[in-house]
Amino acid sequence: MLNRLTDALDFQAQALALRSERQRLIASNIANADTPGYVARDMNFAQALRDASGANGASGGNASMARPAVSQAGSQPGHIPLGAPAGGAYSNLLYASPSQTNLDRNTVDMDRERASFADNTVKYEATLRFISGNVRTTLSAITGQ
């Protein structure tokens, strides 16, 4: 019963964790704007969120967004099953292709990174508001006002 209340929040929590992960990626790119040989990284957010929430279509915060079932099999009865890693999308980071070739083989495009950073900031705040709105809706349903 309780999971009906929390499943919708769970999806937003996954999105929030991935947003902060992407924020960190872009911060690393901006930090390494002058490092020779550094290759900018980014993530495919839609794919990462789909992987993290374990659903085929990210259509909304319904019950199908629940975490995937644990697939690791234990060979001994005492084995503790491994849970899905929080935000299991770390493995599919992409490399940014350089928009302009650089003599020191650095592929950070500062315009693109700043735009992505601003975009990610806005979407992080949007996710925060979704969570707040969700909590407020649930609270007003509980108090019955």
Site string for another protein, 7-46 (x = CB under 8 A): ---------xx--xx-xxx-xx-xxxxxxxxx--x-----
**CA-to-CA distance for 62 and 11, rounded, in angstroms?**
8
Asked whether position 111 contacts another protein by CB under 8 A, the answer is no
Separation CA 20–CA 43 (nearest Å): 12
117 interacts with another protein by CB under 8 A: yes
Query: Which x/- pattern over 67-106 shows residues binding another protein (rule: CB under 8 A)?
Result: --------------------x--xx-x-------------
Per the CB < 8 A criterion, the answer to whether 52 and 88 are in contact is yes
Alpha helices (H) in the chain, listed in sequence order: 2-31, 45-53, 110-143
Name which position in 121, 126, 140, 141 contacts another protein (CB under 8 A): 121
Phi-psi region of 21 (alpha: psi -120 to 50; beta: other; left: phi over 0): alpha
- Total residues binding another protein (CB under 8 A): 33
Which secondary-structure segment (H or E) carries 41? strand 41-43
Q: Which residues bind another protein (CB under 8 A)?
A: 16-17, 20-21, 23-25, 27-28, 30-38, 41, 87, 90-91, 93, 110, 114, 117, 121, 124-125, 128, 131-132, 135
